[in-house]
Chain A
């Protein structure tokens, strides 16, 4: 069964450093998403991406964040200058928005980002 994959599973970085989190969505999916979950809190939407551009973004997704689809398979989230409060689990998800209008999003296993 196809699945969303993410690398690395755990990333430790120092405050102020740049990090890139990587995701490979399910191959026939057209919409891609990033979410974050701070420990003990709810899953929060960051950004959605379709047709090589950002579709929607939340207030969390400020100028420090960017997303890219550098090739036909990868989808990345970059945080330019990490802060302590960026420590969280980051989930990538993808969905197939076909003519049937299916919206189900499937999540990857997540990348735990720890900023020290």
Chain B
């Protein structure tokens, strides 16, 4: 089983819609979870982190964590064409190393 799994997409949503990105992880002891955005040819940019079960909101972004289900998600409200990128889920393992999922490519169509 992969340590961090994401649907590779592509996920396509119209401008103004809600984009929903999902991630599951295998290490039950993981405590820290991150969403990075990566534009083509650029480095990962941290957009959200979440450490506790439940929802965390920051502007148009909401991260959701369910440790019992080993599931973390990212919702992007009012999606904009500039949100088109690959979204990387990352998890800190028990040994404090960070592991990335393969990423979900999101396209927001005007």
Residues B98 and A105 in contact, CB atoms below 8 Å apart: yes
By secondary structure, the B interface counts as strand
Residues on the A chain within 8 Å of B49, using CB: 103-104
**Do residues A45 and B97 form an inter-chain contact, with CB atoms below 8 A?**
yes
The smallest C-beta distance from A25 to any residue of chain B, in angstroms, reads 14
A72, chain B: closest CB distance, angstroms: 23
**Chain B interface residue count, Cβ-Cβ cutoff 8 angstroms:** 21
- Write the nearest CB–CB distance from B43 to chain A, whole angstroms: 4
Query: Given A42-B103, A43-B88, A104-B34: A56 and B96 within 8 A (CB)?
Result: yes
Question: By the criterion of a CB under 8 Å from any partner CB, how many residues of chain A are at the interface?
Answer: 21
Interface positions of A (Cβ within 8 A of B): 33, 35, 41-45, 48, 55-56, 58, 89, 91, 103-110
Please report B residues at the A interface, Cβ cutoff 8 Å: 32, 34, 36, 42-46, 49, 88, 90, 92, 95-103
